[in-house]
Every structure is written in structure tokens, then in C-alpha cells.
Amino acid sequence: MVIAAVFLDVGGTILDESREFETWADWLGVPRHTFSAVFGAAIARGLDWQEPFRVFRPGFDLAAELERRAAAGRPESFGEEDLYPDARACLTALQEQGLLVGLAGNQPAHAEPILRALGLSVDVIGTSAGWGVAKPSPAFFERVVREGGGDASSILYVGDRPDNDVRPAGEAGMQTCLIRRGPWGHILDLPAVADRCLFRIDSLDELPGLIAQHNAASG
């Protein structure tokens, strides 16, 4: 099946969240390496990503903490400097192939306007806050399929998490690509999920060429 649309996850795929996690460690008042260790242990155990926050702040509520950070003048944010170096060029190359290109990830309300302001080469920007549904819910991936033209089999979903990205996207009928970077990409190993991917990559630099080869062979 020819790939007509490509949707990419945000955090850990086009966006390096390292600085963001560091600011959370600072906000919680714990050493950065300690926070990273607890975070990694939670990922390895397949726990919810907010569980490490609850270790250091019982009853942690993300929305409330975001409000407190903003009120204290230390809002959670990201910018051009947080994009992976290969992200912008990859998105541009995909559009130049005539593909519909989208971003679709679990992100809070403030993320969508920031992503739009970055002027990335994308046709669609979707977030869990904006869509009112979060991964790995099937409804999130049903929305991706609608935004991608309605034919799930012609859509490639790219993400760093085998649990939240690749598995549910595949269950929705999409083709999938797992990128190995970020904490989940390096720690969470689900071979049965990874083996069903169309592509497995270490860098977005690889993606445009792989899709071009696949489409040439499928056409």
C-alpha cells in the first residue's frame, strides 16, 4: 500500500523533551539525575508517565501544577532549540514528496500554538488537549485517520513509544514506524510490537528515503 500521509508524534519524535524534564526536576526540588532515574524505572515497568512526579509530590495533578508554574513565572514551554536537529528537514522533505504531513501527540493546551508558531512544514497539527482525547485511546487514532484522508492503510504513524504510539496506531489499521530515541525509545522494549512496524529508525533523516523507496516499490 502506497503511503499518502505521514503523522508524527511530538514529544520524543520531533521534540527533544530533555530540557523540559530538567525544568520539572527543578520545579519539584529534586536532583535532575534522581528524577531521571525514577523516570526511567517507571518507563521500564510500563507505568504511567506521571507516576515519577507522584513519587516526589504525592497527589500530583498535571493541570494544577502547570497553573502553579505559570503563576510563579516558570511555565512549561519549548521552542526551536528543543526540536531534534533532524525534525524540520524531515518534515520539509516529506511535504516535497507530495505527502500530507501531520503532527499528532499527547500535548497540553499551550503546546499547539507553540507548534504552529514554529512554522513547520506540516498540514495538520493535532494535540490531545485540542482534540479532547489522548493516546492510546482508539478515538485518538480514529481522529488521525480522519485528518489523514480516511484510509488508515495509506497513513504512516511515526512515534517513539511502542505502547502509546505504534501498537494503537497499528490496531487502527495504520502502517507504523518506531523511532529509537528519547527515554521510551531506549528503555521500553516490546519486540512483538516493534516487529510489526513497517520501518524502525534511529533518526528522522532516514524516513523520507524509506518512504520514497516503499512508495516506488508499491506503485
- Domain map of the chain by residue range? 5-16+80-218, 18-71
pLDDT one-digit tens code per residue, 23-43: 999 999 999 999 999 999 999
Confidence of residue 48 (pLDDT cuts 50, 70, 90): confident
The pLDDT, as a whole number, for residue 219 is: 74
**9-38: buried (b, 16+ CB within 10 Å) or exposed (e) per residue?**
bbbbbbbbbeeebebbbebbebeeeebbeb
pLDDT one-digit tens code per residue, 166-216: 999 999 999 999 999 999 999 998 999 999 999 999 999 999 999 999 999
The pLDDT, as a whole number, for residue 49 is: 86
Domain 5-16+80-218 is in which class? Answer: alpha beta
Q: What is the mean pLDDT of the chain?
A: 95
Pair 146, 139: CB distance under 8 Å? no
The pLDDT, as a whole number, for residue 58 is: 94
The pLDDT, as a whole number, for residue 75 is: 92
pLDDT one-digit tens code per residue, 112-156: 999 999 999 999 999 999 999 999 999 999 999 999 999 999 999
